[in-house]
Structure formats: structure tokens, C-alpha cells
Amino acid sequence: MAADGRLQLRLVLLLCLCGSGLGQKAAGGPVDKPGPPVHRAVDPPVLRAAEPPHKEAPAAASQPRRAGGWKLSEEEACREDLGRLCPQHTWTSNLAVLECLQDRREESDLAPDCNHLLWNYKLNLTTDPKFESVATEVCKSTIAELKECNEEERGRGYLVSCLVDHRGNISEHQCNQYITKMTGIVFSDFRLICGFMDKCKEDINSLHCGSINVGLKDVHSQGEVISCLEKALVREAEQQDHARPIKEECQRSILRVAELSSDDFHLDRHLYFSCRDDRERFCQNTQAGEGKVYKCLFNHKFEEAMSEKCRDALTTRQKLISQDYRVSYSLAKACKLDLRKQRCSLDTNLPRAREARLSYLLLCLEAAVHRGRTVSGECQGEMVDYRKMLMEDFSLSPEIVLHCRTEIEAHCSGLHRKGRTLHCLMRIGRGDRSATVEGVCQNALQSLIQSADPGADYRIDRALNEACESVIQTACKHIRTGDPMILSCLMEHLYTEKMVEDCEHRLLELQYFISRDWKLDPILYKKCQGDAARLCHTHGWNETSELMPPGAVFSCLYRHAYRTEEQGRRVNPEDQLSRDCKVEVQRILHQRALDVKLEPELQKKCMTDLGKWCSEKTDTGQELECLQDHLEDLVSACREVVGNLTELESEDIQIDALLIRACEPIIQAHCHDVADNQIDTGDLMECLVQNKHQKEMNEKCSVGVTHFQLIQMKDFRFSYKFKMSCKEDVLHLCPNIKKKVDVVMCLSSTVRNDTLQDAREQRVSLKCRKQLRVEELEMSEDIRLDPDLYEPCRSDISRLCPNVNYGNAQMIECLKEHKKQLSLRCHQRIFKLQEGEMTDPELDYQLMRVCKQMIKRFCTENDARNVLQCLKQNKNSELMDPKCKQMITKRQITQNTDYRLNPVLRKACRADIPKFCQPILNKAGEDSELEGQVIACLKLKYADQRLSPDCEDQIRVILQESALDYRLDPQLQMHCSDEISMLCVEEAAAQEQTGQVEECLKVNLLKIKQDACKKEVLNMLKESKADIFVDPVLHTACALDLKHHCAAITPGRGRQMSCLLEALQDKRIRLQPECKKRLQDRIDMWSYAAKVAPAEGFSDLALQVMTSPSKNYILLMISVSVCILFLVGLLCGRITKRVTRELKNR
């Protein structure tokens, strides 16, 4: 109670002092200092009334009414204004009257004489030794603590001014109240602030901010002069030429005045008058003091109801805060200890120094937060508020205003609210418009983003927050509000159904700048700062290095993330990233793959190529695909970047987030095991390729996988598994070869040659051979994956197969079906392809796909190279799938067109072909197809029984197969196509071919007009004589008779046919009626054939005799003829011998 009493006593003393002779001098004359106070001998002591004003004062300033104390309310000059503006209960206190008159209305509302009287009253008040003596008494302990104030000269008002400067450090309650009252008086006019008039006199005159000559112009300015200087100060920071620079000492004074008025908005007179109505509208319940009204008004700055005058005043104050954070009372107070703790305030004597700038404070404290150091929650809250402020209004950053003025005027005018201008600049900066941003503007934007650090809290970016609110509520609702993972979540949902267009644009605009400084992703920085310092030699969060700029740090991290032992070196564990860091690096790579502009190095080095080759590729993901498609055409720097990125994707295809998103169904159905691996080594892409034609595969995924396959063909390094498996083999066996298709051909040729030559040791390693097989199989699926085949056939594709899909080997199959119509070069390449497929059926994609289940059923124990042979052997099985049977038939037709397409026949007849069919080989060109001529030649030699046993066995198989299906005889099909279409329509249309077409042609032999076709039919008849198996109709009809009468006869060389013919002649043997009828028909046909086509040689004649029903008679007659000739010869020989001897004797 005693303390409270003493406090009340001092307040009474203060109020009495305010009510006593402080208005002694008139407004017009020279101001005399009031006399010393005289205390009455009563308790409590009060100051005696001051003397009345001098007589030279104007009439308006009347004499005091009573000796008890001079009252402003009793002065004639202000009576009218007082009665009009102030409530009557304030009239008893001079300070209350003063506060009412200077706060309620603008200066023009007051009578000039009253205005002048108020000015002199305040000036006397600030310099009155009485107030100084009261201050000395009330603030005794505070003055003792403040060395600067204790040393101030007494009697000139400097002590009170000093206490006002340090009022933030005053802890005494009475002293604090006293100084608060004095502050309200001092800040109502700049001329009352100690030293301000002296320091800024020249600047006020040069800038035309008002007059400081009391005698000439005593307009009660109430802060307009300070406002003018503040605007000039912030304008100077936004101009490059500094036409009228403000002196350094005046700059300090301006910022110091702004700092001293930071706790109570009443003290910023210009802002107070500009925002009085807005304060009542938005902040009516906000208590003045501690900068609360300022913050409230800042929060409503862009409201529609906010007046422009208030908005401008608030913007000026925010600009001052950006130049000196101490102009914000709440920020300076909340972060005072943290700044000291983190050593952010190195020079408190220089408010304009670098350490005083808001951006420096934010960077310094953000660095501490990112390093995990403790920063108070109150300070972090203030930092968030001012980071939001920087992102909302670009004009608060003088560098943006200075360096981006041209871009703003040209493209972003009229977008000054809620961060729209800044996002407009960011959009231009990332190249979303035809315009470009100058380098200095780009750097200014990057610096601002670092200062505001919106990556740590998306809410700092108001434009982003408002645009993405709906997406966050639906897609990211499981993440805590304000968590840095919100941005990552938004990126994961980019280009999905949940994303809205406005959010997409704002997000990419921000991510463009975040991607250019790894520190701006707080999660990445947190997990990788140790690795970056250890491996990439980085510095602190807010420090940069020319040797390792921010954009290069992430490149360094991902190089270490994907470094493996297989790349030719053993990796020191110390050179590897931590697990957590590697996960974050992968996350960033996945996000950057969504947009080419999020790859800083790529955009920087490929800007020209993007414009040249990809100007029309504007859809999602198209730009990178375009660059990959034009890889050979890119400039070297761009080609290297695109190549490195593609090589990285080959190792971890999940980096291509768009592709993975499109392939989600197929991954979940068939590849989830490899997709769940933390480290992908090309397995996922291999799985996608293998399952590219599953029912879960959608068009987007299929196109994406195929595109990546096509890109891989440009460089073998783009196939990670192939590269790692065959790197040493390529360097040793195929040096200087870069294209994957060439490398595959080189290695395949080496493997084939080593196999054919039975080399003791394969030159290509086992692991490379296994991966080589995978690559060969992939290439067989799509013609575009084999440029050597695709390029020669491009015109044929558009001409013959325009609507056929490339994948699933459909295009290759189409070209095979139109092989006779292909251009020469394409025909040669297709033939070479077929030759390889017949040698190695695994490379026949269509065959392996269609007959996959049949291969498992019939050929599991067979070698892969004998798969087709196995399928042919089981072709007529009841368990054979019809589609597979049809595919086998296609391959048989292909094989019978050229012996080179039947590796088994080629090997078995390697001696017979040059022996009997060399003329055909001589006529044909090296690359031309033989159209079945060599096989037809071998068939004739088979009938003549002149082939080697191995070759004969293979020809017998071919004859048996073609006898059942005329399509397997290319010569017959080629020469008899018209006759078949006219004479054997029904037989040819049958779904199952059982030799009916051949039988039809034989029956209609007399109707055939074309000699070539007739010759082919006659050859069939001739061949059937040699082996009954070649005649399936006859063989079926005589199957029981063969079993009963010719079981002991070895098949081949016409032996079983001869047996049946002898049985037909034997009256004792009864053949089956159908067999007997068919045999008789064959005899008639052979007789006709003998007439039409006489034997071409002795062998044909011998064959006809041996197969003739009158064989015995013919042989007897031949024997008798030979005997007769022999006897005649003997007789003639003896006669000629005698005649010769007689001639000699003569």
C-alpha cells in the first residue's frame, strides 16, 4: 500500500506539473524558459502556477484566468476548438486537452492561433527544467542504469529525449508511465525530437518535405514531415541512380524515429491519421501498445474495405521494417535474446548495417532453426508473420522493385495484392510466358524466396495457400497444418484428378525457385546437411560458396546416391549417403521429373534446344521426352545433361513420376515386389517391359515404357542392367560403339561366332550373355527398337501397314505377311530378321507369345533353340492350341520359302545343296530370297533317291508336312494360285488343311492350263511314288493294308508304294475298297503323267519302270533285249577280228 501511495503521489505531482505554467509564452514571440518551480509548504507538494504569457504575445493567446494554474481550456485561442472537439471532462488537464486536439482531427480543423499556441506549449514542455527535474526524480534508478542518459546535459530537454529513446529498457513503472506521456507529446511533431531537426534540416529542404523555420511557418505538421522523409528513404532504396541521396545521419534518425514509434501506432502521426477509420473498422478491440495495432492493420492490409491512404502508410512502414527489423516492436522484442544467442546482431550501433536488415535477421534465425538450434516459439511466430509479409507484397523488397521494375510494368501491372505480383514474376522467371526475366531480377527473386523460406511452411505463401486450400483438405489432410511435407504431398498429386489448375500453377512457380537451392527444401536439408558438408563441402544454411553454389549441391548429392561398386570402383562407406538422405534425394528426383523446369541444370543448358526442337511440346512431361528424342541433335552441353538424367532414370525409373503414376495398375498387379525395393537397379522397368501387353496395361503406361525403350537404343548406358552386366565386355570387344543396337549386334555376333566355332571359352561373360538375351528379346517386340530394321522399312510401314500397332511385334508380323511387296532394302532386313528368329526361336516374339502355354506343355525339356522344332512335332496333337497351331503353320510356310530359314535342313543338306542345286544358287543374288527353289530341287532329288540320309530325312518331313497343307509348298502356291482359286475353292477355304487341295489339283490335272502349275502337280505325283507318306489321302485310305501286307517293308525310297502295287496285282490279296480305288486312280495319274511329262533322264526312266505295274514284264523285256544285243556283239566281234587278221597278212 505504501508503494501504491507513493506512485499515486508522483502521478499527482506529474499531473499538477502538466496543469501548471507550461504555457507561459505566447505563440508569436520568442520563447523564454519557465522559471524554477516553487514548492508550497503543503503535502503533497505541487508546482506553483506559471507566470502569464508575455505581453508581446498575440491577443489570441490570452492571459491565464487564475493564479492557481494555467489551463489550455481557458485560453481564448482554443476555446472554440475545445468546445467543438473535446468532451468537457478533459478540460481540467492540459495533457488531456492536448491529446484530444492533436489526435481527433487534422491540423486544418484547428484555428491557426490555437495551433500555434499548442506548438509553443509542447516545445516549452519538452525543454522545461521542471519536467526534467520530475524525470530525474521519477526515473532516478533508470537514469543511473542508462549511462547515455545520465551523461546528457541538463536543462536542454535532452534527458527526457534520451529516456524516450530507451523507453524499451525502462522497468520502473512510474518512470515508464511518465515517459509514455512524454512520448505522445514528442512524436506529434518532428521538431520536438531531440537532434532530429539538426540532422535532417538539409534533407527536408532538398526533398521539399516542409519547413523547419518556426518564425516563417508554424504549421503544426504532426508527422507529415517525417512521413515525407520515410517515403524518400524507401524510394531511395528502390532506385538505382539515387538522384537525391539522404544523408547517412538523417537516415539513422529517420529509422530511429520509426523504431521509437514502433510500440504504439499513435506515435506514427501520419499512419495514425491515415488509418484512424480503418483501425475502428478492423482493429477496434485491439489494445494499443507493443505494436499490436500495427500487426492487426498489417493483417488486413489487402482487405477490400481497407482505404488506399492507410494501405500506403502501412506499406511505407513495412518497407522501413524490411530495412531495419527494429522498426517492428514485436519482432525486435520477441527475437532480442535469440538474435544475441545466435550472434545475429553484430553491430547494434549501425541500424542501416547489413545485420539490421529484415532479410538478414530472417536468414540468420532460419539457419539456426534448420540446424536444429533452439529459437523461441514467440520469435518463430513473429518470423512467420514477416515472412508472410514479404511474400504478400513484392514492394517490401527493394531489390525486387529495383531490378524487376521492367518485368512488373510489362507483365504484372495491377496484381499488387496477396502475392500475385510476386507469383507473376515467378511465372515469367520459370519461362511460362514468352518473356524472360533479367538475371538480376531472377537473383532478387531467389534471394526473396530464401528470406521468406516458404518451403518450410506453405502458409507463408498466401497465393499458394489460397489456391491449394481445397487440394490440401482432400489430398493432404493427414498431414499436420504447416508441416513442410504439405508441399511434397502437393507435388505428389500434381497432374492428378485431385489437383486444381490454379494450385498447379502456383505450386510449380514456387517449386521452380526451391529447386534451385537445395536448402529451401527443409526436409532435404535436415536429412542431408551432414552428408552435404562431408561430401560436397557446403557451408551454413545462409552462406554460399562460389566453388559449390546451391544449385550444384543437389547434383553432388545424387551422384553419391547412385554411386555403386559395379561402376568400376569400390565405394568407401564414408563416400556414401546416409539412408535417410538417399531417400530424400530420391523424393526430390521423383518430384523434379514432373516438370523439366524443375531441373535447373537442364533448363539452363537446354534453353536453346527447347526452343528449337520442343517449342510445341507443352503438355506434361513432353519437353524431356522431346529432348531425349532429339538427343543426337542437341548441343553438347545439353546432350550431356539429358544423357546423365536418362542414365539416372534407367537405374531408378521411379524418378519418372508421371510414368510410374500411369503404370500404377500394372505395377500393383505384376511388379509390386520390385517396386517396393528402396533401391531400384533397372528391375522395375524390365518388369514393365515384360508385362507391357498384360490386360492391366493402359495406353499411357504402354506409350511411356515404349518411349523409354526407344531412348535406351540411343546409348547402351541408358539401360542400367545391360550397362552394369556388359560394361567390361563392351570396352573389350566393342570399343567406340555407343548406340545400344550396335552394341547388342556386336556382342551377339561375338557370341554366335564363338558358338559356331566351338570356342573353348566364350569371350562374352556369362552375366552379359544373360542380359544380352533380355535385350534381344525386348528388341524383337517393337520394330522401332531396331533402327537398322525400322529405317529401311519406314516407307513400307506407311504404305502397307498404316493402321497396325508397333508393339507386340504386330508391325513386324505385318511386314512379314507382305514380304513380297516390300522394298528391296526392307525385304533384305526382314529376311535377315527371320533368319535370326529361325536360328533362335526365342527371338520370335509373336511365336513365343502366342505359343507360351504350348511351349510349357510340350517343350519344357527342349533347348530354347529347338522350340520351333518341338512345336512342329506336336502341331497335330489334340491338345495343341488352335492359335499356336496357326502360328506354327506361318513359321513353316516361312521356312519352306528358303532353305536358309530352316537351320536343321541347312545343316543336314549342306553337302547336297551345292551338289545338286548349285545352278539355282548361281542365278540368285546374294541377298535375294530363293522362293522355295532349292527345297523344290531337293524334293526332286529325293524322288530320285540321290540325297544323303540326313538330308533325305529332312526332305521327307517337309514333303509330309506340305502334302497336308498346300501353303507349305511355295512353288505350288505361287504357280497354281489361279487354279486353286478356280478349281479348289472349297478345299482351300477349309479351316483345317488335310491335303484336300493337293488331291483336288491331282484330280483336275487335265483341266490345268498353265504349264508351270501342271509341272508342280506332276512333281507331286512323282514324289508320291517315292514315298506313300507324301500322299496323305492315299496313305489314309491304305493305312490298314500297309499294316497287314507291308508291315515288314522299310518306309522310303518307294518301297511301301511298290508293296501296295504288287498287292494290287496279286489276285490272292484283297485290299480295302477305298485303298484299291485310290491306288487305281494313282496308276491312271502316273500313266497320264508319263505321257505328258516323259522322263527327263535315266533316273526318271528308272523310277518310272520301278514304279510301273508292268515292272516285271518291262524288266524281262529289257533283259531279253540286253542278251540279244550281247550275242550280236559277240558274233560281230569274231567276224571283225577275222577280217582284220586277213588284212594284216596281205
Residues in the chain: 1146
Angle of CA points 695, 696, 699, to nearest 5°: 90
- pLDDT of 1028 strictly over 70: yes
Question: pLDDT digit string (tens) for 516-563?
Answer: 888 899 999 999 989 988 888 887 766 766 667 777 888 888 888 876
Nearest to 725 by CA among 679, 697, 686: 686
Average pLDDT rounded to a whole number, residues 1034-1044: 88
pLDDT band at 265 (very low <50, low <70, confident <90, very high): confident
Average pLDDT rounded to a whole number, residues 24-44: 34
Residue 31 has a pLDDT of: 36
Residue 217 has a pLDDT of: 39
For the chain, give the percent of residues with pLDDT over 90.
Answer: 23
- pLDDT of 353 strictly over 70: no
Average pLDDT rounded to a whole number, residues 682-701: 87
Average pLDDT rounded to a whole number, residues 792-815: 92
Average pLDDT rounded to a whole number, residues 724-750: 90
Q: Which residues of 895-904 are buried (b: 16+ CB within 10 A; e: fewer)?
A: bbbbbbbbbb
The answer to whether the bond into 44 is cis (omega within 30° of 0) is yes
- pLDDT of 847 strictly over 90: yes
Average pLDDT rounded to a whole number, residues 321-347: 86
pLDDT band at 913 (very low <50, low <70, confident <90, very high): very high
On average, the pLDDT of the chain sits at 80
pLDDT band at 72 (very low <50, low <70, confident <90, very high): confident
pLDDT band at 927 (very low <50, low <70, confident <90, very high): low
- pLDDT of 65 strictly over 80: no
* pTM of the model as a whole: 0.68
- pLDDT of 182 strictly over 80: no
Residue 94 has a pLDDT of: 77
Residues with Cβ < 8 Å from 886, sequence gap 6 or more?
none
* Cα distance between residue 456 and residue 305, in whole Å: 31
Radius of gyration of the chain (CA): 52
DSSP 448-486: HHHHH-TTT-GGGSHHHHHHHHHHHHHHSTTSPTT-THH
- pLDDT of 974 strictly over 60: yes
- pLDDT of 148 strictly over 80: no
In contact, 936 and 965? CB cutoff 8 Å:
no
Nearest to 389 by CA among 328, 308, 334, 441: 328
Average pLDDT rounded to a whole number, residues 383-394: 90
Residue 612 has a pLDDT of: 86
Residue 58 has a pLDDT of: 38
Average pLDDT rounded to a whole number, residues 908-919: 91
* Cα distance between residue 980 and residue 475, in whole Å: 68
Assign 151 to helix, strand or coil: coil
List the single range of 149-158, 276-285, 732-741, 808-817 with lowest mean pLDDT.
149-158
Max CA-CA distance within the chain?
205
Mark out the alpha helices in 735-806 (DSSP H runs).
740-756, 766-779, 787-790, 794-800
* Cα distance between residue 157 and residue 197, in whole Å: 14
* Cα distance between residue 315 and residue 321, in whole Å: 10
- pLDDT of 944 strictly over 70: yes
Residue 90 has a pLDDT of: 78
Give whichever of 169-178, 190-199, 975-984, 1026-1035 has the largest mean pLDDT: 975-984
Question: pLDDT digit string (tens) for 1043-1062?
Answer: 888 888 887 777 888 888 88
Give CA torsion, residues 294, 299, 304, 309, to 10 deg. Answer: 20
pLDDT band at 743 (very low <50, low <70, confident <90, very high): very high
- pLDDT of 882 strictly over 80: yes
Residue 1139 has a pLDDT of: 55
List the single range of 154-168, 588-602, 638-652, 1088-1102 with lowest mean pLDDT.
1088-1102
User: Who has greater pLDDT, 796 or 87?
Assistant: 796
Residue 656 has a pLDDT of: 84
Give CA torsion, residues 24, 27, 33, 34, to 10 deg. Answer: 10
Average pLDDT rounded to a whole number, residues 806-814: 90
Residue 203 vs residues 10, 22, 230, 722: alpha-carbon distances, Å:
41, 32, 11, 75
Residue 214 has a pLDDT of: 41
Residue 52 has a pLDDT of: 35
Q: Which amino acid is at 7?
A: L
- pLDDT of 105 strictly over 70: no
- pLDDT of 515 strictly over 80: yes
- pLDDT of 242 strictly over 70: no
Residue 1103 has a pLDDT of: 55
- pLDDT of 920 strictly over 60: yes
Average pLDDT rounded to a whole number, residues 130-154: 78
Other Cβ atoms closer than 10 A to 923: 10
- pLDDT of 7 strictly over 60: no
pLDDT band at 600 (very low <50, low <70, confident <90, very high): confident
Residue 128 has a pLDDT of: 65
Question: pLDDT digit string (tens) for 556-580?
Answer: 888 888 765 444 445 566 778 888 9
pLDDT band at 379 (very low <50, low <70, confident <90, very high): very high
Residue 24 has a pLDDT of: 37
pLDDT band at 458 (very low <50, low <70, confident <90, very high): very high
Question: pLDDT digit string (tens) for 1125-1135?
Answer: 878 877 776 55
Residues with Cβ < 8 Å from 571, sequence gap 6 or more?
563, 564, 565
* Cα distance between residue 962 and residue 1142, in whole Å: 68
pLDDT band at 1081 (very low <50, low <70, confident <90, very high): confident
* Cα distance between residue 1055 and residue 1072, in whole Å: 19
- pLDDT of 475 strictly over 50: yes
pLDDT band at 26 (very low <50, low <70, confident <90, very high): very low
Average pLDDT rounded to a whole number, residues 882-902: 91
- pLDDT of 138 strictly over 60: yes
- pLDDT of 1104 strictly over 70: no
- pLDDT of 765 strictly over 90: yes
For the chain, give the percent of residues with pLDDT over 70.
Answer: 82
